Amino acid sequence: MSQAHAKSHVPAYLVIYVSLLVLVGLTVAVAHVKTGPLAFPIAMAVAGVKTLLIVAVFMHLKDETPLVRLFAIAGVMWLGIMFTILMGDYLTRNDTHAALRNLAVGQVSEEAHSSVPPAKAPAR
């Protein structure tokens, strides 16, 4: 790495820095717009782009050896496995979700009781 890079990194760093600040402004602005169910994916996409810019340029991952890049990707991959399995479970519990939620916030009603089998009632 030391011999190959005679030219300065500094202009690239400044471009990335300005881009990051623009993306911060973008994500704050979008949060004020009614985007409904898209709000979360948009916010995470902006954060993801910011992360890619930091990792590729500030952390020099684009200049690293394939083995180092593999290690970096492995960390994100394990995180992906954890989120996929966890949310795959929680996001598919829609039938009991509303009832459990109302139980948790103290709104115990007849319908909430009837839609949750007694055996599956959540421990407080």
Q: Is 22 in the site for other proteins (CB under 8 A)?
A: no
Report the site for other proteins in 55-74 (rule: CB under 8 A).
Answer: 55, 57-60, 64-65, 67-68, 71-72, 74
Q: Binder to other proteins among 38, 62, 79, 113 (CB under 8 A)?
A: 79
At a CB cut-off of 8 Å and minimum separation 6, what does 64 contact? 72
Nearer to other proteins, 9 or 62 (CB): 9
Question: DSSP 3-state helix, strand, coil percentages of the chain (rounded to 5)?
Answer: 75, 0, 25
Q: Binder to other proteins among 9, 38, 41, 95 (CB under 8 A)?
A: 9
| Chain centre to alpha carbon of residue 25 | 18
How far apart (Å, rounded) are the C-alpha atoms in residues 28 and 42? Answer: 11
Q: Binder to other proteins among 38, 41, 62, 78 (CB under 8 A)?
A: 78
At a CB cut-off of 8 Å and minimum separation 6, what does 93 contact? 100
How far apart (Å, rounded) are the C-alpha atoms in residues 72 and 48? Answer: 15
Structure token digits, residue 10: 């500094």
Q: Binder to other proteins among 32, 114, 118, 120 (CB under 8 A)?
A: 32
Cβ atoms of 56 and 62 closer than 8 Å: yes
Question: Could you list the residues that contact other proteins (CB under 8 A)?
Answer: 1-2, 5, 8-10, 13-14, 17, 20-21, 24, 27-28, 31-34, 36, 39, 43-44, 46-47, 50-51, 54-55, 57-60, 64-65, 67-68, 71-72, 74-76, 78-79, 82-83, 86-87, 90-91, 97-98, 100-102, 104-107
